[in-house]
């Protein structure tokens, strides 16, 4: 149930920065269908429970009419502060210049505060509208009371209330004092404004933070400093689960500016949010801390993961994928149908470990004074960070403040709080102020990694090219292994990301999962497990179309067999549906078909291409949104490729902030290209071999294609935009390469050497076709600067 309370006379008003005025808090249950979200447990270790849900959105209006929106979710480039303000302003009938956004600290009273999995709008759109509508109706009621008029004759417009029959006007500022003493409307009685009255939602609104950003006034984690602060750089064991045997600090202490060398105790695997441990060099400046760290002499106990090797591990996973696994979805009789198939197709797909490589490496500032701790850091989940710190440092949550800064990317990395715990531990140990700074090398060598994954697919077609059998096996170490020992099988949430939710109408199918023990710290990444699963699934359906001798787009459209909604419960499949209610957010095959058709129409699917060009597509539903990509690729005789054009279609329900959605789609393209072309972490003797952008490159501007972003108009509730488009880029690119060369890519990142001297398979264009684009080598332009 949703409940709205008037907090104007409570101490909370002072706490959020106002001395008087109208303040509303919104309470809503995690099982409220309006929010349609269940809060997942995010344990520090087994047994940790998140805080209880309480007020989680506040709207305040002071006596001058200024509106303050308290945003509980951190900003990391997705534009959530602006988007939340747009929702509130439209429902409040507020003037945009009168709105101020305030970022909240981490506190259980705000409910779910984590920014991940493209859920912020999904969870908060409805409560925001209810809160703003309550304020608007209270202001209208205050005007009616002032004029002794009917409430129905009073209408809020542009930060004032108009008495429609007489055209009298009262600005909001003159109504606040009266409104704050009125009862709050029952949520069930609220009149939400219709779409025709919206001035902000669906329109191009400048970022509320852009001006400050352009002037360098938005504080990111690396910008934070305090008087008397000390800087810490930490040498960590190269192998996950290892620890210090002994160390000699003399060399570090000889460096000018170094003040202390302290051992942070190692936390045994699985370490969850907790630090890896290591030797911290504390200095008066960061340069001295870095130089002192280089002078350390440390002997390590490398632990049980010292033998981990990705080449050997891949072979183990391949062997597992070739054996019968645990069945998690079954329909018909795969074995019988496959045995009787006229054409059989087998594909094995591999995706390596990936790291987050956020623009801003982890950093945290902590101050411990008078037995209280304050932390300022770029965290995706300040409330979880606070709870983790309390348990790790044996403090009361009431004695801890976690203040999120702006984030220079997150991608899931900054929802894990080892770096914050490091800062908190050192601040408490020194009873002072500490800034822990990770280098890029630290970030790549000691991060949380997206799981390595090996998959095998077997498909059968009848004599007419109709798919009659599909078996998909996936093997990857579980994300839960970072928090719980002996987790060798992934849970339903991970398998629900592009695996068990296979949408094709094939009468005989099996989805099986194989066990894989974890040897690395694992964490969620952008796109989640959809990145690996969508690569395999969308590539293999393309393989089946080719084996059937049919056009891939028409083949795909036909075997969606929509419009319909797939009932996973009726199929006996454990499918968490991204923690949303399946009744409200069904797996809708009709919307998959729609984005496919949308993409085909706008990308001119079927038009002739130039020699050595190919066109590929991929379509997928993830994070409750639907995405399709069509990519044109040119493959040179030397194996280098260029990408003249990408069409990307997104159906994320009602679009609140179209400018931000477009930006997220453009970013999704570049992130997806980096994943397909470059992303690979390898491990030897338990240690990560990559160290910086010279050997872990990311997509750069030189490969940027011509982008065409298409947002599907929709009346469905708003869903995610940050993650859903990323997974379709890699398979669409690989399918395009096949269309151009006949070479099938089943391992990422793409090995361009495989494309050397590949034959041209695309049809020769008719007269008047456009000239071929200049080929751009998709290799790094040179070593990246180390930072």
Any idea what DSSP says for residue 226?
-
Stretch 450-468: mean pLDDT, rounded?
Answer: 98
Question: Which spans in 378-525 are helix H?
Answer: 382-393, 418-430, 440-445, 492-495
Stretch 759-769: mean pLDDT, rounded?
Answer: 44
Place of tokens 């200095």: 283
Q: Note the Cα 174 to chain centre separation in Å.
A: 43
Is the pLDDT at 55 greater than 50? The verdict is no
Among 311, 322, 313, 316, which residue's Cα sits nearest to residue 347? 322
Stretch 120-132: mean pLDDT, rounded?
Answer: 85
With H, G, I as helix, E, B as strand and everything else as coil, classify residue 419. helix
Contact of 736 with 641, CB cutoff 8 Å: no
| pLDDT value of position 113 | 79
| pLDDT value of position 772 | 36
> What integer best gives the mean pLDDT of the chain?
89
26 phi and psi, to 5 degrees?
-115, 130
| pLDDT value of position 350 | 98
Stretch 404-427: mean pLDDT, rounded?
Answer: 94
| pLDDT value of position 729 | 98
Q: What percent of the chain has pLDDT over 90?
A: 74
Confidence of residue 761 (pLDDT cuts 50, 70, 90): low
Distance from C-alpha of 103 to C-alpha of 778, rounded to nearest angstrom? 40
| pLDDT value of position 14 | 45
Is the pLDDT at 769 greater than 80? The verdict is no
Q: 0.75 cut: is pTM over it? A: yes
| pLDDT value of position 26 | 61
| pLDDT value of position 31 | 37
| pLDDT value of position 78 | 84
Stretch 470-487: mean pLDDT, rounded?
Answer: 96
| Tokens matching residue 588 | 């809708």
Is the pLDDT at 749 greater than 60? The verdict is yes
| pLDDT value of position 779 | 37
Is the pLDDT at 44 greater than 50? The verdict is no
553-597 tens-digit pLDDT: 999 999 998 789 999 988 999 999 999 999 999 999 999 999 999
648-662 tens-digit pLDDT: 999 999 999 999 999
Is the pLDDT at 3 greater than 70? The verdict is no
Stretch 496-512: mean pLDDT, rounded?
Answer: 97
| pLDDT value of position 563 | 80
Lowest mean pLDDT among 147-156, 177-186, 513-522, 719-728: 177-186
| pLDDT value of position 472 | 98
Confidence of residue 22 (pLDDT cuts 50, 70, 90): low
Q: Return the CATH architecture of domain 221-304+362-437.
A: 2-Layer Sandwich (3.30)
Stretch 195-224: mean pLDDT, rounded?
Answer: 90
Is the pLDDT at 48 greater than 80? The verdict is no
| pLDDT value of position 5 | 65
Distance from C-alpha of 450 to C-alpha of 520, rounded to nearest angstrom? 10
In the chain, domain spans: 2-214, 221-304+362-437, 322-354+448-755
Residues paired with 448 in a beta bridge: none
Lowest mean pLDDT among 178-187, 273-282, 291-300, 763-772: 763-772
| pLDDT value of position 127 | 84
Contacts of 431 (CB under 8 A, 6+ apart): 368, 369
Place of tokens 């747009």: 86
Question: Which spans in 711-775 are helix H?
Answer: 729-741
Is the pLDDT at 51 greater than 60? The verdict is no
Confidence of residue 126 (pLDDT cuts 50, 70, 90): confident
Is the pLDDT at 77 greater than 90? The verdict is no
Is the pLDDT at 783 greater than 70? The verdict is no
515-548 tens-digit pLDDT: 999 999 999 999 999 999 999 999 999 999 999 9
Any idea what DSSP says for residue 238?
S
With H, G, I as helix, E, B as strand and everything else as coil, classify residue 387. helix
**CATH number for the domain whose boundaries are 322-354+448-755:** 3.30.365.10
Confidence of residue 8 (pLDDT cuts 50, 70, 90): low
Is the pLDDT at 454 greater than 90? The verdict is yes
Beta-carbon count within 10 A of 770 CB = 9
Hey, what long-range contacts does 759-767 have (CB within 8 A, 24 or more apart)?
760/611, 760/612, 760/635, 761/614, 762/609, 762/610, 762/611, 762/612, 762/613, 762/614, 763/608, 763/609, 764/608, 764/611, 765/608, 765/609, 765/610, 765/611, 766/608
Q: Which CATH topology does 2-214 take?
A: Aldehyde Oxidoreductase; domain 4 (3.30.365)
Is the pLDDT at 10 greater than 60? The verdict is no
Tell me if 221-304+362-437 shares its fold with 322-354+448-755. Answer: yes
Stretch 688-705: mean pLDDT, rounded?
Answer: 95
Beta-carbon count within 10 A of 340 CB = 13
Stretch 105-132: mean pLDDT, rounded?
Answer: 81
Hey, what long-range contacts does 629-632 have (CB within 8 A, 24 or more apart)?
629/599, 629/669, 629/672, 629/725, 629/728, 629/729, 629/732, 630/599, 630/600, 630/603, 630/605, 630/732, 631/705, 631/729, 631/732, 631/733, 631/735, 631/736, 632/603, 632/736
Distance from C-alpha of 536 to C-alpha of 541, rounded to nearest angstrom? 9
With H, G, I as helix, E, B as strand and everything else as coil, classify residue 68. strand
Is the pLDDT at 125 greater than 90? The verdict is no
């Amino acid at each position: 149930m949703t409940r709205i309370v008037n907090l104007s006379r409570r101490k909370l008003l002072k706490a959020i920065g106002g001395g008087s005025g109208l303040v509303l808090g919104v309470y809503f249950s995690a099982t409220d269908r309006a929010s349609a979200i269940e809060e997942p447990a995010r344990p520090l270790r087994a047994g940790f429970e998140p805080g209880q849900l309480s007020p989680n959105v506040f709207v305040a209006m002071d006596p001058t009419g200024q509106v303050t929106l308290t945003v509980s979710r951190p900003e990391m480039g997705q534009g959530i502060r602006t988007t939340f303000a747009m929702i509130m302003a439209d429902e409040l009938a507020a003037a945009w210049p009168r709105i101020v956004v305030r970022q909240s600290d981490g506190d259980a009273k705000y409910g779910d505060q984590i920014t991940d999995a493209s859920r912020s709008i999904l969870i908060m759109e409805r409560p925001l509208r209810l809160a703003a509508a309550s304020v608007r109706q209270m202001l209208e009621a205050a005007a009616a009371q002032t004029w002794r008029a009917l409430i129905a004759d009073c209408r809020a417009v542009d930060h004032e209330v108009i008495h429609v029959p007489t055209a009298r006007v009262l600005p909001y500022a003159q109504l606040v004092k009266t409104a704050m003493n009125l009862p709050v409307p029952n949520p069930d009685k609220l009149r939400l404004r219709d779409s025709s009255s919206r001035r902000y939602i669906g329109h191009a609104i400048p970022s509320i933070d852009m001006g400050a950003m352009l002037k360098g006034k938005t504080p990111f984690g690396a910008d934070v400093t305090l008087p008397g602060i000390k800087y810490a750089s930490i040498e960590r064991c190269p192998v996950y689960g290892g620890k210090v045997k002994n160390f000699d600090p003399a060399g570090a202490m000889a460096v000018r500016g170094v003040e202390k060398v302290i051992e942070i105790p190692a936390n045994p695997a699985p370490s969850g949010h907790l630090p890896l441990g290591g030797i911290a060099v504390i200095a008066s400046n960061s340069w001295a801390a870095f130089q002192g760290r280089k002078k350390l002499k440390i002997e390590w106990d490398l632990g049980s993961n010292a033998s981990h090797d990705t080449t050997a591990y891949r072979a183990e996973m391949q062997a597992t994928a070739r054996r019968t696994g645990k069945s998690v979805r079954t329909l018909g009789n795969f074995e019988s149908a496959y045995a009787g198939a006229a054409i059989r197709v087998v594909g094995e797909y591999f995706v390596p470990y990936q790291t987050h490589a956020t623009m801003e490496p982890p950093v945290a500032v902590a101050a411990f004074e008078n037995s209280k701790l304050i932390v300022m850091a770029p965290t995706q989940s300040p409330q979880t960070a606070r709870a983790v710190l309390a348990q790790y440092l044996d403090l009361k949550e009431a004695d801890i403040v976690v203040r999120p800064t702006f984030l220079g990317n997150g991608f899931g990395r900054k929802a894990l709080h080892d770096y914050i715990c490091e800062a908190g531990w050192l601040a408490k140990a020194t009873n002072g102020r500490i800034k822990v700074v990770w280098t890029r090398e630290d970030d790549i060598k000691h991060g949380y990694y997206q799981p390595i994954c090996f998959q095998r697919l077997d498909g059968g077609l009848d004599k007419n090219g109709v798919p009659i059998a599909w078996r998909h096996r996936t093997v990857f170490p579980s994300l839960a292994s970072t928090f719980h020992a002996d987790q060798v099988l992934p849970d339903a949430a991970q398998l629900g990301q592009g695996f068990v939710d296979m949408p094709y109408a094939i009468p005989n199918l099996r989805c099986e999962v194989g066990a894989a023990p974890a040897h690395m710290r694992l964490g969620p990444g952008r796109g989640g497990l959809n990145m690996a699963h969508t690569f395999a699934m969308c590539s293999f359906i393309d393989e089946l179309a080719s084996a059937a001798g049919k056009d891939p787009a028409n083949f795909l459209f036909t075997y969606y067999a929509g419009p319909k909604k797939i009932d996973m419960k009726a199929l006996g499949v454990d499918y968490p549906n991204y923690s949303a209610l399946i009744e409200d957010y069904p797996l809708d095959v009709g919307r998959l078909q729609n984005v496919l058709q949308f993409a085909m129409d706008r990308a001119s699917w079927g038009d002739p291409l130039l020699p050595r060009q190919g066109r590929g597509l991929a379509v997928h539903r993830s994070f409750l949104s639907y995405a399709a990509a069509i990519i044109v690729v040119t493959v040179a005789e030397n194996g280098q490729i260029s990408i003249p054009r990408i069409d990307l279609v997104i159906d994320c329900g009602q679009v609140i902030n179209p400018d931000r959605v477009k930006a997220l789609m453009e970013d999704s393209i570049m992130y997806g290209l980096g994943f397909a072309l470059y992303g690979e972490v390898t491990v030897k003797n338990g240690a990560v071999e990559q160290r910086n952008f010279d050997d872990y490159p990311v997509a750069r501007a030189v490969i940027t294609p011509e982008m065409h972003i298409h947002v599907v108009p929709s009346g469905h509730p708003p869903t995610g935009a940050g993650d859903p488009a990323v997974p379709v880029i890699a398979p669409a690119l690989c399918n395009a390469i096949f269309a151009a060369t006949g070479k099938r890519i089943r391992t990422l990142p793409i090995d361009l050497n495989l494309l050397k001297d590949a034959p041209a398979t695309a049809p020769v264009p008719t007269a008047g076709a456009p000239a071929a684009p200049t080929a751009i080598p998709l290799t790094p332009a040179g070593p990246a600067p180390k930072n």
